[in-house]
Amino acid sequence: DTEVTQTPKHLVMGMTNKKSLKCEQHMGHRAMYWYKQKAKKPPELMFVYSYEKLSINESVPSRFSPECPNSSLLNLHLHALQPEDSALYLCASSQDIEGWTSDHNEQFFGPGTRLTVL
């Protein structure tokens, strides 16, 4: 199984709502990522988890809260978002084994969650 799944596909929420985005992979990858992508722009890294520990937070506002409950799952909890947070949120995973060469740094992306904040 070489697939990364994301739910929901679409999400509309108000600025006072709390919602969560979910991501799952069963490739045995130990690194997982959240990216944000605005229309006609490249993806921008938000968070990196390695072996279920947060290794990078790219100065993301605290209204975005990541969680990695186990090696296959990655969540992004959303609270009090702003309309400018509307975007495509992409999850990705990659192998993360110490000592491996950089040939194994390919990231596998999910289809994304299209988020609209009203």
Partner 1 sequence: SQQGEEDPQALSIQEGENATMNCSYKTSINNLQWYRQNSGRGLVHLILIRSNEREKHSGRLRVTLDTSKKSSSLLITASRAADTASYFCATDAVVTGGGNKLTFGTGTQLKVEL
Q: Which of 11, 78, 81, 90 binds partner 1 (CB under 8 A)?
A: 90
Q: Which of 20, 50, 75, 86 binds partner 1 (CB under 8 A)?
A: 50
Task: Judge whether 112 and 47 are in contact, CB under 8 Å.
Answer: no
**Is 99 among the residues that bind partner 1 (CB under 8 A)?**
no
**Is 33 among the residues that bind partner 1 (CB under 8 A)?**
yes
**Is 13 among the residues that bind partner 1 (CB under 8 A)?**
no
Determine the Cα–Cα distance for residues 68 and 74; give it in Å rounded to an integer.
5
CA distances from 56 to 31, 40, 45, 85 (A): 11, 25, 9, 20
**Is 78 among the residues that bind partner 1 (CB under 8 A)?**
no
